[in-house]
Each structure stands twice: as C-alpha cells, then as structure tokens.
Structure 1
Amino acid sequence: MEEGNERLDCREELLAITKRLVGIRSEVNTDGERVVAASIHGMLAAHPYFEAHPSQLVMEPTVNDERKRYNVMAHVRGTKGNSRRTVVLMGHMDTVGVEDFGAQQELAFRPDEWMAHLKGEGLPETVQAQLESDDWLFGRGVLDMKSGVASNLYLLTHYASNPEQLDGNIVFIAECDEEDGSHGILSALKTLKRWQSEEGFEYVAAINSDFVAPAHEGDENRYIYKGTVGKLLPSFFITGEETHVGSAFDGLDPNFIAAELTRQISYNPELCDVALGEATLPPVSLKQTDLKPSYTVQTALASYVYYNFFVHSWSPEKVLELLKAQAETAFRNAIETFRTRYRKYEAVSGRPGREVTWEPRVYTYDEMDTLLKEEHGEDYVQHMKDFKDALEEDESLDSRMLAARVVEEAWKFMPDKRPAIIVFYSSLYSPRVALTGERENECRLLDALDDAIEAVQPEYGHPIVAKNFFPHISDMSFVAMSDDMSEIDDMVANTPSWGKKLYVDYQDVADLNIPVINIGPYGEDGHKRLERMEMTYSLEVVPNLTNRVLRRVLESE
C-alpha cells in the first residue's frame, strides 16, 4: 500500500468525539455557539502539538456580527518537506433548533438516551430497522454536521501527532453561524488571508464536511460533491392602483398581480439552471404579502414577494434578466385576465365599464434608482441615505424587509405612479462554485478525488458517486466562486438592503478562490426530529476518503 494511504482505524474515536460535540447544545444564534467553540478550542489546546505551538491555534470572534461568537482555527505544518501547499478542512459547529423535539428537547443532545426513547415510538419500518441496527446514530447535529467536524478534528490531531508524515500543511476551521448568516466563514476568510501572508500558505484545496443524503427514495448512492449550488433571493415590489372594494374594477389589486407572478415563477422548470449535466431545483415562493399596516376596505398600495432561486451557471445579472421577462409575462397575463373578467362582469351586471389601459411596467431596482437620481438629483440621494440609515437601526427588520421598505420609499419619488413591478435582491448571495478542471489546482483536486473513491470503494458496500454541485446552501460558497467581480457589483447595485445589516466582502472570496469539494457524513432527515447518520460511512469512509484526497493534493510533483 502506498505510503501515507494506509487505512485509518478511527471509528470508535470519531464516535466518541461526535457524541461529545453533540452533547454541547449549540443552536445557531444562541450562547451555545460560544460554548461549543470553547470546547473545541480546549480539546485542541490540550494536544502536545498545540501546547508546543500555541500561536497555531486561535479562537477568534466574528466580524460585523451583532452576536458575540467565535470560530476555532488551527494549522499543522508538515515536516516531511518544505512545501507551502495547504489544504483547508472546514465544517460548521452550529445546528438548527430543536423545537420539533417537543417535550424531549434535552434528549436531542444525548444520542443514546434519545435512541432508547425512540424504541418506544411507532416509527416507519425503515427507520425502525436503522434504529435497531448498530450502525445508525440519532440526535440533533449527529448528521448536520458534528460528525463531519469530528472527522476533521481527528485528521488534524492525527497529523499534529505525526507531522513527519505530512509534506505540506493543514488548516482546520470550525465555523459558527452556517445555519443563518454565514458570519463564521466570512470572518474566517480574514484569518485565512492573514495566514496566507504571514505563514506563506498556498491554499490548493478546501474540503468541507457537510452532510449528504439520498437524492430520492430508494437512492443507495453516497455522494461526494465537486463545487456547490449558488442561491439568490429575487424579490418583487408590486404596485397597483388603489380602490375601494365597493368599486373593485376601478383599481388594480397588487395582490392579484402577485398571485399571477407566483403562478408564473414557482415550480417553473424553465427556471432550472442546467450545467455540467445537472439541473437546479426550480424557484419557489418563500414569502407573499401586501404591505398594508392594518385592515382597511381599500385594496393594497403594494405587495411584496420573494423566491428561493438556485444557480449552477447563471450570474445574478442573468437571473434578474430572466425574472424581469417572467414578471412582464405575469403582468401581461394578469391585466388580460382582469380585462376578461371585467367584460364578463359588465355582461352579468348590466353596467357599462371603462377601458382597461394599463400596460406591463417592470424595472430592476438599479434601473429605477438610476432614473430617480437623474430626476431628483442629490435631494433624492441624501433622502434615501438618511432613510436607510434609520432603518438599519431597527433591530426588528431583517434584510428582506429592510429592502422592501427601501424600495417602497424610493417608489414615492417615481413621477409615473401607474402599476409597476420592481425586481431586486433582498438577502445574502451564496455564490455558485463549479469545478471545471481548468485551473491546475482544480485538476489535481478532481484527480485526487477520483483516485480516493477508486481506492476506498471496494471496502464499502454502497456506490460512492461524485456529482458536480452540492445541492444545499453551505459555507463552500464563501471560499470560492465562479462569478467575476463585475457580476457581483451588479448584484450589489440591485440589493437595496446592502450596507450595515447586509454586507459581504466578496473580494476576500475572490482573492482566495480555493477549489472546494464536500466529503461529508451520510444520513437522513437533516434538520428534522429523526436526524440520523450511518456510522460506517460517516466514521470510517469519510475520514479515509478525506485523508487520501488531502495527501494526494499535497504531494510533490
């Protein structure tokens, strides 16, 4: 067997680390995030390597964050040679909440007790079989993703104990806040850049350890992902023409347009981004509301909707272009339906009606903002700055609602108040990452992954399959990106809430641009009450695959 590629016998040690981490309640946006960071830091600080090299282990606060929380970062320098090549092992230590556990919330963090409790419940046949086996572990965070962090911890300390086996370096990141705002990884980028400068690291690959799951019922594959899906939150401010409900056809209800817009966009396969033979899921509505503050018998002045939107190859600018066209179609359909129904109402009521003269009007936020700057000059610019500054002091407003209020205020300056749709972004953009093999480090990483799968597959009974895009939002999006900065600038120009509450230094991501893959634990029902992981794959296959990949990409030419 090739030197350095011996099989790691680590199942029991990884299981113990996983249970220890799961036992620390660390739901996102709670004090538990600090507790788990301190625990991981303490585990590493007690290792002889970090006792001898204390500057190589840090617990650093996040930046531009309203909460006090920390990342744990460490690095081990190999002594086999003098290579600057460095692999980043990354994973998040926060979890989602446990409200779905009901009265058994505390058991969510004690896997053995939780599994004993579940044996008294009537579970689906497959889940019951998994529970009764010796190869599945249940509990909050066992899958998403403390077993992945445990694998990275094991590999870090393995090479801390055996640096002579390593030609190159390993950087370890246990980041907070993956489940909400990604403050953890965005803050860690600053440290990665500092170490790049101070330590001379050449980052050649990053390996994330987020969980993987069946793609469909009956799917036996265990997936490795080369890159990740991107996510946008396209949003629409819709104005109508207000009227009293007793004269309904004298106005145009923006909720009527919003309903047609959702019918046009949600679940529309034309809006699936197909790249490298894989398709994203189509967009789906995440919010649809009008902006009336209270009940009245008048129709609303404006409505607000936003949709989840995944991308593999489309830029934010391309998505706005596509959705502007979809909005124009929906607007036209809504007006035509209104006109048809109005004519039918005239026939049944015997009342003559008026001509329907509305036409679809759709602007991007940047288009409207540019128009208003030309129309009103510095008065408009200063007013909007002051208005936005005041909004950002309101802790009750998230970035989505802040964006809606900014657009609503800007609309007041529009000289033409006829019904219109304004399309924009209102939340964080998680960049897409596509590994094409065009860069040397990408090519080496992809080759290393293929070799690792080929070597490990005979030891494991289910197919290990590499795909191009991790299908969920993850921190992989913030160590590399396939967009260029001009595309990012266009996204920023169309994000009204960009500023204090919503800000990402995408230049940090572009500067590092580390080829990234995901090798993570396998299981089912992540984010759900029956969250569980398969131990053989998660505690044996994952660390061995990861080890083979990192050794291969670090080895000398």
Structure 2
Amino acid sequence: MLDCRDEVLFYTKQLMNIESIVNTNGEKEIAQVLYSMVASLPYFVENPNNVVISQTSDDELERYNVLAFVKGTKTHSNKTVLLMGHVDTVGIDDFNQLSDIACNPDELIQALRSEELPPSLRAHVDSEDWMFGRGSLDMKSGVASHLYLLKYYSEHPEELDGNLVFLAECDEEDSSHGILSALKELKAWREEHGFHYVAAINADFVAPRHEGDESRYIYKGTVGKLLPSFFITGAETHVGAAFEGLDPNLIAAELTRQIDYNPDLCNEALGEITIPPVSLKQMDLKPTYTVQTALSAYVYYNFFIHSWTPKDVLDKLSHQAEIAFGNALDLFENRYRTFCQLSGEPFKEIPWKPRVLTYADMEAGLVEEFGTEYLEHMKEHKEQLLLDHSLDVRMFAARVVEEAWKWMTDKSPAIILFYSSLYSPRVELSGNTLDERNLVEALDEAVAAIQPSYDKPIVVRNFFPYISDMSFIAISDDEVALDAAAKNNPSWGSKFFVNYQDVQDLNVPVINLGPYGLDAHKKYERMELKYSTEIVPNLTNLVIKNVLRKE
C-alpha cells in the first residue's frame, strides 16, 4: 500500500483554498496554480513539454484545463491510462455567514463546532475522520489523489508499464467546456506520442445511495442526461371570458403531473434503474401583467437514461404529452360544463384536440412550406438572440421555438417537444471490446486486493448516478441517436455545439473511482478521510498497474 494520506490531504487543502466556482475567474486561477505545481516537479522541469495549460475553445469565458503525462520506462508500451477530474465547484451562497471560510477546511471546522447541529452531523464535526468545505468532496480530493499518483510516477517511471495522462478540467458543473476542449489535446497526444488510451479513471465523488448505506461505490460507465423541454401554446382570452380560450398553464400543470416522478419513465438496464424525471422549470412566457391569459408556457425536466436513446425519450414523452393534453382538455370541458350548469350559460363544444409535435417535425414542415425565407429569417433571429447575454442556452432555445411558432399556419393549441441543453451521453461498460474487458478485470482485481484491508464494503455498480464528464470520454450511442438530440435542439449550431465525433474518436472505457462523503453541493459538504485519501489512491494505483500489464 502506498503511504499517501498526508500528501493527498495536503494537495486537497491547497486546491480547496482556491475558490474556483464555475463560471468565475477562480477557474482560471486554480488552473494556473495547478499548472505551476505540476510544472515545478523535477520530472516536468526536465520534460517541460509534458505539461500544458490549455484554454477552452468556443467558450465565452477565459478558463483553462491542465494536462500532463508521464511516460513509463518499465516497458516500451503505448498503453495509456487517463486520470481525470474537474477543478470547478458549485457556489458558496448556502454557507451564509460562513461563506468567507467555505474553502478553508481548517477554519470552517472550528466554526462548525460552535454551531447547533443534528447529532449525526455533530459526530462528524467532532471527529477527526471528516474534512468539511466546498470542494472537499466534489471533487478536489479526487483531483488531489490523481495529482499524488502523477507525482509518484513522475518520480518512479521505472514502475510504470505504459503511460499516465493527468487531466484537470474546468466547467464540469455547467456546460463541460473543459472536457470537450481537452479532447483535442488528448487526440493530438495520441497521434504525437502513439498513446493507446486503454482506460480512463474519473475521480468524482460517491455517496450513500440510501440512509444507512455503508457501501463505498465504484461505477463502470455513467448515466446519461437529457433536458426534454416543452413549449406549450394555448388560446388567448380575456379573464372575464375565461372559457373562450385555453390557458397554456393548465396544460403545463397537467404535463408536470403526468411526467414528474413517473416510474414509467425510469430506464432499467443491467439490473439498475434511473431516478424518474422531475421538473426544473415551469413558467409562462407572458412578459408583463395583463388581464389576458398567457399565449404560451415553458417547462423542462431532468431526464436520466441508462439504455434509452434521445430518440426513445422523444417517443416516450410525446406519448406522455398526448395523455397530459387530453387530461387537460377533459378537465377544462368538465369544469366548463359545471360552470354552464351553475350560470345558465349555453355550453359550446370545445374546438381543441391534443396536438403534440417535436421541434424537428415542426421545423421540417415550416421549411417545406416556406423554404429559404423561413430559414434566413430564423438565422437572423438567432443572431439577434445571441446578442442577449441574459439568455442561457435553455431560454435561448425557448425563444427560438417561440419565433418558429409564429410561422405556423395552424396556430391551434399545441405542445412542441424539444431539447434545450447539452446531452450528456450514457456510457455502458458492456465488455464488448478487449479494452473494456481488461478494465473491468483490472478493477475487480484491485477491489479484491484492497477489500481485506478496509472495513466497509467496496461495491462495483454499472452506472454512475450523477452527471459527470465521463459522458464525454466514451459514448454508447449511434449516429441516429445523436442526430435526434441535435435536430431537436433549437440552439444547436448557434448557441452551442458539441462535436460528438471527438468523443467517438477517443472512446476510452471509463470508470469512476472517487472520494466518499456526504452533502455535496450543500453547506455541510464533507469528505471521509480514510477512504478518500488512503483507499482511493491505492485502488486507483492498482487499477493502473493491472490494466497496463494486461495483454
């Protein structure tokens, strides 16, 4: 076993002390500090071209990745293991009066000891087994573990059967500009140095899956994430004549009732099941107060997948939207009938039917009807929207659909289904390739070797349950699936673009082996020291050794 605790802890604190909140200058600062730390190691002083600080591309912000590699001398193998992790964090507003010390674990723990805390949290604060603070768990301790191993092998290249690449990327917590930009360097190094990337090890955090769960998890592959979004149009009316129109908010409410927490929308694969979708935004698009009902509403949902494709999700949600629309019209009609009975007003048959379109189908119809006139108008409209920096990619997409809707000849109430954000692809480590089989065997061997020296169960599962940059190292989707994600995203090619071909070109089998703790993204974020600073580096090291020596 490597005696690594003190060094990993030292690196963790150094990284934590830099407030590197995503989309702030802190991302730039931590990259510069990390680059200096690596570049000052003797191996990299002698081999300065083996470490780079690289600015992200197609990014509105100035921020950087740090990449470095050590070439092993034990054998002349081109096999290469990639160690990856992100250096950005979420914000610190939830720390309230402790925000000034949120990134200083030593001061923070002293402050927390004077707070009123629940017994379970008090036990962790008072023990010497936990480190608190922003980034302690997600995921600077994971990066510190990788940094330790990079340093170790830079000092002992004679122990390395192949090559080791270290990647510390920015912007994992928002739009993955870091990893998507780093793919270019990784591919360039492959060509320049002949690297054969046989495995990637991500070091994002792991946590209990339920109360009382003592297992420390390692994940093969990762969940995929989509953001299915719905632009909903109604029939505007004065509130004094409410039943003469159709409120799109009613349809939106029924849509959320149909989709939120719906177990039918959980995706099972390899015996594991995703969390069901849940809404992340629901609003109408009425700009100011008037006594007219809204013209349109907008809602989007988080959606996790294990084996479904973006096309599968569109098909399933189109069906759910049809059901929700029908439910909304039934409710409207029933209440309208009751109102007419109470008021004595005559009942008139409602004129609307459920109507659900995907954005790609709507766009194809408009192109067929209006041709280049429509395309040129939408191109100009998107260019104007790009000037409004208050629009994130999700609202940008909604405004594009809103403008396209104006061209529709049939403006009867409808639901338009589309994707409004980045698709983080699912990764399934199925053992279809030799590299995948070797990585799985190397992991199983490492766990078997380490488990006797650790008193908590180390459990291997198939899908990392959170969003991570693992989605952009390997890919399990085919062209049809990726095409559905692109064609149904109104922002594609303007507000954002992902070159999934880069991911397919690299396509490295990937696992997640990272620190253990609780309350990531919360005020009491904390990392358990023994597993995170002792077991994780040693497990990672064994996976590296095992996978590099396999034929």
- Please state if 1:456 is matched with 2:422: no
Counterparts of 1:110 and 1:403, CA distance in 2: 39
Contact 1:223 1:464 in 2 (8 A): yes
Counterparts of 2:387 and 2:434, CA distance in 1: 46
| Alignment correspondent of 1:280 | 274
The one-letter code matched in structure 2 to 1:307 is Y
Counterparts of 1:11 and 1:99, CA distance in 2: 30
C-alpha deviations, 1:481-512, integer Å up to 9, x for none?
A: 11012211121000001123211111100111
- Please state if 1:423 is matched with 2:426: no
User: Any residues of structure 2 matched to 1:504-519 within 5 Å, and which?
Assistant: 504-519=498-513
Counterparts of 1:281 and 1:173, CA distance in 2: 30
Partner of residue 476 from structure 2, selected from 479, 482, 490: 482
- Please state if 1:392 is matched with 2:406: no
User: Any residues of structure 2 matched to 1:133-532 within 5 Å, and which?
Assistant: 133-532=127-526
Aligned CA RMSD, in angstroms, stands at: 0.8
- Output the TM-score relative to the length of structure 2: 0.99
Partner of residue 110 from structure 1, selected from 104, 118, 122: 104
Counterparts of 2:247 and 2:110, CA distance in 1: 55
| Alignment correspondent of 1:38 | 32
**Partner SS for 2:523:** coil
Contact 1:240 1:419 in 2 (8 A): yes
C-alpha deviations, 1:76-95, integer Å up to 9, x for none?
A: 00011111100000000111
Contact 1:266 1:283 in 2 (8 A): yes
Counterparts of 2:512 and 2:503, CA distance in 1: 17
Contact 2:199 2:509 in 1 (8 A): yes
- Please state if 1:545 is matched with 2:534: no
Residue 424 of structure 1 and its aligned partner are, at CA, apart by 0.2
Residue 461 of structure 1 and its aligned partner are, at CA, apart by 0.8
C-alpha deviations, 1:459-481, integer Å up to 9, x for none?
A: 11110001111111001011011
| Alignment correspondent of 1:18 | 12
Counterparts of 2:539 and 2:35, CA distance in 1: 25
**Partner SS for 1:462:** coil
Residue 556 of structure 1 and its aligned partner are, at CA, apart by 4.5
- Please state if 1:122 is matched with 2:116: yes
Counterparts of 1:485 and 1:36, CA distance in 2: 37
C-alpha deviations, 1:274-299, integer Å up to 9, x for none?
A: 11111100000111111111011111
Contact 2:396 2:495 in 1 (8 A): no
Contact 2:202 2:513 in 1 (8 A): yes
C-alpha deviations, 1:136-185, integer Å up to 9, x for none?
A: 11111111111100000000110000001111000000001111111111
C-alpha deviations, 1:299-343, integer Å up to 9, x for none?
A: 111111100000000000110000000000100111111111111
Counterparts of 1:169 and 1:504, CA distance in 2: 28
The one-letter code matched in structure 1 to 2:249 is N
The one-letter code matched in structure 2 to 1:461 is D
Any gaps of 5 or more consecutive residues in structure 2?
none
The one-letter code matched in structure 2 to 1:491 is A
Counterparts of 1:361 and 1:376, CA distance in 2: 21
Partner of residue 77 from structure 2, selected from 58, 83, 100: 83
How many aligned positions are there? Answer: 551
Contact 2:438 2:550 in 1 (8 A): no
C-alpha deviations, 1:417-456, integer Å up to 9, x for none?
A: 1111100000000000011111111111001111111110
The one-letter code matched in structure 2 to 1:449 is L
Contact 2:201 2:512 in 1 (8 A): yes
**Partner SS for 1:317:** helix
> 4+ residue stretches of structure 1 with deviation over 3 A?
none
The one-letter code matched in structure 2 to 1:132 is D
Counterparts of 1:65 and 1:36, CA distance in 2: 18
C-alpha deviations, 1:93-131, integer Å up to 9, x for none?
A: 111111111122121121111111111111111111112
Counterparts of 2:363 and 2:315, CA distance in 1: 17
Residue 357 of structure 1 and its aligned partner are, at CA, apart by 2.5
The one-letter code matched in structure 1 to 2:79 is R
The one-letter code matched in structure 2 to 1:421 is I
The one-letter code matched in structure 2 to 1:552 is N
**Partner SS for 1:75:** strand
Any gaps of 5 or more consecutive residues in structure 1?
1-6
